[in-house]
Amino acid sequence: MRILLLLLALWASPVRAALTPAELAGVGATPPAGARLPAGLAFVDQAERPYRLANGPVPTVLLFADYSCRHICGPGITLTAGALHDAGLTPGRDYRMIVIGLDQDGPALAARLATDRLRGLDAERSAMALLTGSPPTIRQAEAALGYHAVYDAQADQFAHDAAIYVFGQAGRLSALLAETASTAPQLAAAIAGARQGVVYAPPAPRPDDSLAGRISAICYGLASAHGVYAAPIVLGLRIGGVLICVALALFLIGHRRARDAA
């Protein structure tokens, strides 16, 4: 059912984008070889407590997010936390999850996002750190991890990649996954690899037109090459989204009836 969050987010996304294609082309997550958790950077968490990044005794799952994002940042956090839960992993014992805010939205907005988006995931919400930092601190974190977000002042939003960074106990990057395309087994395998000391190897550069590869544009607001979709395309996208939701609902109803009949 969590995938419905992504579909609903796509339905609600605005269709206007002020950033140019050249600006959007710079968005992505391309960590360098040997990337490490940027330990020592100072933030505050959602409870307004000082929080300094440091290597932990368990693998670290780290995301970047815009706490005021109206698209899939919230659902992306939900999907990641839900997949970790479904994998049978316990926060604090098997991993820790950290979210770095891209903007200075503040701890209050971060706390509200956690409350709204992590219902039914109490253990994950309690253990998660949603951080707010100064612009220089955020830029240092982005630079260390090869994370490239672009701010659209007109929309007051960031175009950014929905990527999951997984670090080992020594702080070395072990895996890079897509928030919206990662399953419980994939996250469990990534965390197991981090425990075993697997080190992330950057792939060879290549064009990526997959859903995961274009997730930054979706998170930004379904940005097209010209900044605005034509009305028929918008209508088609929304009709398609509704049809997918209906088909998924019918499948779930049929599955439940078959299970009850058995």
Number of Cβ atoms within 10 Å of the Cβ of 199? 15
What is the model's pLDDT at position 246? 59
10-residue mean pLDDT profile of the chain (262 residues): values are 44 54 81 94 96 94 87 83 95 96 88 89 93 95 93 80 92 89 90 96 65 45 35 48 60 62 64
What pLDDT, on a 0 to 100 scale, did the predictor assign at position 61?
Answer: 97
Which pLDDT belongs to residue 86?
A: 95
The confidence score (pLDDT) of residue 212 equals: 43
H/E run at residue 158 = strand 157-159
**Can you give the pLDDT at residue 105?**
79
CB contact at 8 A, 190 and 175: yes
Structure pTM? Answer: 0.75
- DSSP calls for 97-151: EEEEESS---HHHHHHHHHHH-TT-HHHHHH-EEEB--HHHHHHHHHHHTEE-EE
Reported as half-sphere exposure (CB side, CA atoms, 13 A), residue 192 has a value of 9
Number of residues assigned to the chain:
262
- Tell the residue number behind the tokens 């014992």, with chain if given: 93
Look-up of token digits 């260390």: 144
Whole-number pLDDT of residue 175: 95
